[in-house]
Structure 1
Amino acid sequence: MKLYEYMAKDIFRNNGIPVPKGRVFTSAEEVTDFVAQVGSVAIKSQILTGGRGKAGGIKFAKDPEEAAEKARELLAMDIKGLKVDQILVEQKLNIEKEIYVAITYDGARRKPLLIASAAGGVEIEQVSEELLVKRLIDINVGLQPYATREITRQLGLTGQIAKEVADIMLKLYQIFRKYDAELVEINPLVVANSQVLAADGKMTVDDDASFRFGDDVPLVEEKTAVERRAAELGISYVELDGEIGVMANGAGITMATLDLIKEFGSSSRNFMDAGGGTSREATASALEILLSTQPKALLINIFGGITRCDDVAKAFIQVKETMDIRIPVVIRLVGTNEEAGVAILSEHGIESYRKIDEAVAKVVAFVQAKGA
């Protein structure tokens, strides 16, 4: 479960990490008195998705009248299918330096992992590996002061700023453990007026840790309209912003498919785990959901176990006969009733693949040819 930025910052503040002065509002009219007290402000939409800044979800204002106007604009926005119904208004900072700090969990090594970079304020995926400082944390020992001092040295920080950043890292790890977090992130952690502050905050906590927050904290994952529709069908679905629509059956095979698409030079429009034992009708509905997001191509990757390959093939034909599909579709079928599924597709002039790398190469080639 993800926490809104203001929730993460409340936790930061309560655990000794400095944050800018700010308040949450649900109407533009309430903003003016607060802005009259603090001066220039940043107004941030509170939604559970990334890239809000690029989507216009963060605005700045110098006085109460401008703040109310900007607040009205934000509260009328829809960002990536999510309605903005609350905003965080904070005192604007004169930023001198931006740093990235996060603690997550390294599943392969089964240890918490601290990631830091002197190149904060941008998407961490864009930062080159040599600019990242990574340190695994022994859960039995914890994050020690000597380790944070070494990390700040590697970041090129000195003096009082280095001390404050090191202290914030220690407190961030305490929060990570205290709330059973999967991720705690500050991006950016800023130096403003010689003070270190968490200018942004992100937290993701384990679903089973919701009791730590009480009944008054709405730990509810925001979903787009498409995600809500998929959830009603019992399908695990996450909307992304890539090119290729993906349907697979199982979280592992779906993630592997997304990784392969990236490896072959394209990107995924979604994560869809259609699960095992999905009925023909539900499979058809899942395909309709994928097509509604208007991907450039569609990849269906089925390893038949409980899910039968012939049911998937029949479902696809059903959708194909009722919808005007004008994008390339590549299908990989392996497993239960594979021969029957392949035969059904072949009868309708549709080729299928046994090897996933061949299927991914084909669908990526379609997309790249279309974009040429």
Structure 2
Amino acid sequence: MKLHEYQAKQVFADAGVPTPASTLATTVDEAVDAAEEIGYPVAIKAQVQVGGRGKAGGIKLAENADEAREYADDILGMDLKGLHVDRVLVEEAVDFVNELYVGVTMDRGEGKPVAMVSTRGGVNIEEVAEEEPEAIAREHIDPAFGMHHYQARKVVYDAGVDREVANDVAGVLKTLYDLWEDKDGSDAEINPLMVTADDEVIAADAVMNVDDDALFRHPDLEAMEDEADGGDELEQKADEYGFDYVRLSGNVGIIGNGAGLVMTTLDLVDHFGGEPANFLDVGGGAKAQRIANALDMVFSDDNVDSVVFNIFGGITRGDEVAKGINQALEQFDEIPKPVVVRLAGTNATEGMEILNEDLVTVEQTLEDAVERAVIYAEEVEA
């Protein structure tokens, strides 16, 4: 479960992490009233679970009531990277002199949690990790003992954080780790953790993702679930269909049967220079209607420019998959996005014969199918 910013900030604040004064608003009038109560300047922030909100126009700084009304009206109801904005967080603006990043996640390669700190806060930390990995200090934690205070201080000093605020930053990081552990988190991060001229540290953003299967242990988080999931209609639809689905930021839609097979397909999309738009696992034994439902989901994502099917038949039968693809595509006068199909395994030959090649492109190998889908997506972009 992905918490919204306002929900994660509530969890962080309850644990003692300093956060700005803020109020959630669903109408323009509510946003203006909240801004008047908090005091200007205020930040008006779209509450959708997507990165890069500021660059996309989803975060604006209002200096007075007229600007608060204008910006709230602009943001409420907007489509932000495919997500509808129906809530904004009106938040006290922080006068800062520095921006840091602190985070905790699981390093699956090491089989341990890892705490991370960087002085390159306020930007896309994934880009920093890729382009300047040395700019992020890391400390692995033994889960049997948890994070010791000396480990929090060590990673903060390794990152080059100023001594005047190092202890406070270490305290925030220690609290973040304790929350991550106590709440069965998968990720917890603050980007940016702002440093003021008075050497105070304040969490200007908040991210917390929690293991769905552990929610029964956390009734406080379980009560947030409906609101947390409310921002992405596709993920709600995935729940209705019973799919394992994760929305990503690319434009190549991916449908497969089995998590490993789908992950391999994602990696190949990246290998051939494309960007995956989603992870969608239809599961084993998928019948025609289930395949049609999967296509309905991927076609509903405005970011998708092409779709690749990667089906390996064990329990799943290739002829059933082919019937589902035909059934879904025959509903359209014009196919909304090019579809590439690769079938292998049980009844794959029969499936290939059933597929309507006027509606799809059929490739014999997974590599050829993925490369073709990436090319189609590039042609649409061009």
TM-score of the alignment, normalized to the shorter chain, above 0.5: yes
Query: How far apart in 2 are the matches of 1:206 and 1:42?
Result: 30
**Match for residue 195 of structure 1 among 200, 211, 223:** 200
Give 1:33 deviation, angstroms: 5.9
Give 1:119 deviation, angstroms: 0.9
Which residue pairs with 1:214 in the alignment? 220
Which residue pairs with 1:248 in the alignment? 256
Aligned AA for 1:185?
Answer: E
Aligned AA for 1:281?
Answer: Q
User: What's the CA shift string for 1:245-294, capped at 9, x where partnerless?
Assistant: 21111222112211210121111222221222222122123224333446
**Match for residue 354 of structure 2 among 344, 365, 370:** 344
Which residue pairs with 2:345 in the alignment? 335
Query: How far apart in 2 are the matches of 1:347 and 1:174?
Result: 55
Which residue pairs with 2:175 in the alignment? 171
Alpha carbons 2:56, 2:80 under 8 Å: kept = yes
Which deviates more, 12-21 or 313-322?
313-322
User: What's the CA shift string for 1:95-142, capped at 9, x where partnerless?
Assistant: 211111110122343321112221111111111222222222101222
Which deviates more, 88-97 or 31-40?
31-40
The 1:209/1:107 distance shift into structure 2, 3 A limit, reads farther
Which residue pairs with 1:125 in the alignment? 126
Query: How far apart in 1 are the matches of 2:37 and 2:375?
Result: 57
User: What's the CA shift string for 1:318-347, capped at 9, x where partnerless?
Assistant: 344443237543221111112222333488
SS, match of residue 218 in structure 2: helix
The 1:7/1:315 distance shift into structure 2, 3 A limit, reads closer
SS, match of residue 225 in structure 2: coil
Aligned residues: 372
Alpha carbons 2:292, 2:327 under 8 Å: kept = yes
Which residue pairs with 1:310 in the alignment? 319
The 1:36/1:141 distance shift into structure 2, 3 A limit, reads closer
Aligned AA for 1:237?
Answer: Y
Which residue pairs with 2:76 in the alignment? 75
Give 1:241 deviation, angstroms: 3.5
Query: How far apart in 1 are the matches of 2:40 and 2:371?
Result: 55
The 1:362/1:289 distance shift into structure 2, 3 A limit, reads same
Which residue pairs with 2:58 in the alignment? 57
Which deviates more, 323-332 or 4-13?
323-332
Alpha carbons 1:80, 1:224 under 8 Å: kept = no
Which residue pairs with 1:16 in the alignment? 16
Which residue pairs with 2:184 in the alignment? 180
Aligned AA for 2:268?
Answer: L
Is structure 2 residue 152 aligned with structure 1 residue 152?
no
Runs of 5+ unmatched residues, structure 2: none
**Match for residue 259 of structure 1 among 259, 262, 267:** 267
Which residue pairs with 1:234 in the alignment? 242
Give 1:315 deviation, angstroms: 2.4
Is structure 2 residue 229 aligned with structure 1 residue 224?
no
Aligned AA for 1:309?
Answer: G
User: What's the CA shift string for 1:69-99, capped at 9, x where partnerless?
Assistant: 3223333334344433332222111221111
The 1:298/1:84 distance shift into structure 2, 3 A limit, reads closer
Is structure 2 residue 284 aligned with structure 1 residue 276?
yes
Alpha carbons 2:292, 2:324 under 8 Å: kept = yes
Alpha carbons 2:249, 2:278 under 8 Å: kept = yes
Query: How far apart in 1 are the matches of 2:6 and 2:140?
Result: 28
The 1:359/1:40 distance shift into structure 2, 3 A limit, reads same
User: What's the CA shift string for 1:137-195, capped at 9, x where partnerless?
Assistant: 10122212222222122221232211111111111111111211111110001111221
The 1:115/1:277 distance shift into structure 2, 3 A limit, reads same
Task: Give me the identity figure in percent.
Answer: 40
SS, match of residue 3 in structure 1: coil
